[in-house]
């Protein structure tokens, strides 16, 4: 009896919209680049702003990211997603900008409620009107604490907390091991908790 071996269908990049888009750009189709910019510009600007604090600087970071991506698209081999590759370029540009600054600016936080949940800071139980004032004070202390984080820790915290990226994704962006990313995030959160505790307004609890 002869057994018929069924061949397994091979994956075809031509069915992957992202792969098709990249192939078009690598072939010289500039409309593909316009599509990439349209898809990724807003999230990249938002990401950069959380790192550098200033919208104009963030826009410059995003613009430089797209320029470098366009210039290097021939080098892209699909070892990571286009999303991760762009974030890595943007991250490096933002870190370079932070290191060039003599005076750091406050990082703008536009998702304060999620921030409080992310670092698991808990309000001391109180039922008076002062609670809201204390909450605002806490956020100000946290902003100041984030401003003092080393650039790499700051980037890891923003990517993990605000962008919702996994440790593996951040490791690809930063070019470090997942263990190093976990350690960096742990130290960043610990410093933020210490700042909140020092303010005397909040109790600190919960696990990372």
Could you read off the pLDDT of 35-68 as tens digits, one per residue? 999 999 999 999 998 888 889 999 999 999 999 9
User: Which residue has tokens 């070019």?
Assistant: 175
Domain count, the chain: 2
| Containing structural domain, residue 93 | 15-100
Burial of 163 (0-12, 13-18, 19+ CB in 10 A): middle
| Mean pLDDT over the full length of the chain | 75
In a domain, 1, yes or no: no
In a domain, 3, yes or no: no
What average pLDDT does this structure show over 96-117? 50
pLDDT at 162: 81
pLDDT at 113: 40
Q: Are residue 62 and residue 117 in the same domain, yes or no?
A: no
What average pLDDT does this structure show over 119-139? 48
Q: Are residue 117 and residue 194 in the same domain, yes or no?
A: yes
Give 108-113 contacts, CB < 8 A, sequence gap 24+: 108/49, 108/50, 108/53, 109/50, 109/139, 109/142, 109/143, 109/146, 111/162, 112/139
Q: Are residue 91 and residue 39 in the same domain, yes or no?
A: yes
Q: Are residue 121 and residue 200 in the same domain, yes or no?
A: yes
What average pLDDT does this structure show over 175-191? 90
Report the interhelical angle of 130-148 vs 178-199 (nearest 10°). 140
Q: Are residue 172 and residue 144 in the same domain, yes or no?
A: yes
pLDDT at 156: 92
Do 97 and 121 meet the contact criterion of CB atoms below 8 Å apart? Answer: no
Q: Are residue 72 and residue 117 in the same domain, yes or no?
A: no
Q: Are residue 84 and residue 133 in the same domain, yes or no?
A: no
Is residue 126 scored above 50 in pLDDT?
no
Do 162 and 50 meet the contact criterion of CB atoms below 8 Å apart? Answer: yes
In a domain, 94, yes or no: yes
Q: Are residue 60 and residue 119 in the same domain, yes or no?
A: no
In a domain, 5, yes or no: no
176: domain CATH number? 1.10.10.10
Q: Are residue 142 and residue 196 in the same domain, yes or no?
A: yes
Q: Are residue 95 and residue 176 in the same domain, yes or no?
A: no
Q: Are residue 116 and residue 167 in the same domain, yes or no?
A: yes
Domain boundary among 59, 79, 100: 100
Domain boundary among 70, 100, 130: 100
| CA angle, residues 13, 16, 21, in degrees to nearest 5 | 95
More confident position, 194 or 56: 56
- pLDDT tens-place string over residues 71-97: 998 888 877 889 899 999 999 999 888
pLDDT at 169: 92
Is residue 140 scored above 80 in pLDDT?
no
pLDDT at 29: 86
In a domain, 183, yes or no: yes
10 band by pLDDT with thresholds 50, 70 and 90 = very low
In a domain, 189, yes or no: yes
pLDDT at 52: 87
């Amino acid at each position: 009896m002869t057994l018929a071996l069924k061949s397994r269908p091979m994956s075809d990049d031509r069915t992957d919209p992202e792969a098709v888009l990249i192939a078009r750009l690598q072939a010289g189709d500039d409309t593909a680049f316009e599509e990439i910019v349209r898809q990724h510009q807003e999230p990249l600007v938002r990401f950069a702003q959380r790192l550098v604090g200033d919208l104009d600087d963030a826009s410059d970071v995003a613009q430089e990211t797209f320029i470098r991506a366009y210039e290097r698209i021939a080098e892209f081999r699909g070892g990571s997603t286009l999303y991760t590759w762009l974030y890595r370029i943007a991250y490096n540009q933002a870190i370079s900008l932070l290191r060039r600054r003599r005076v750091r600016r406050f990082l703008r936080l536009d998702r304060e409620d999620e921030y409080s949940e992310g670092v698991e800071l808990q309000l001391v139980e109180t039922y008076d009107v002062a609670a809201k004032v204390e909450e605002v004070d806490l956020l100000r202390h946290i902003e100041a604490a984030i401003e003092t984080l080393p650039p790499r820790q700051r980037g890891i915290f923003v990517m993990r907390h605000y962008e919702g990226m996994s440790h593996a994704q951040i490791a690809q962006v930063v070019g470090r091991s997942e263990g190093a990313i976990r350690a960096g995030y742990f130290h960043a959160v610990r410093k933020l908790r210490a700042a909140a505790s020092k303010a005397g307004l909040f109790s600190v609890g919960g696990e990372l």
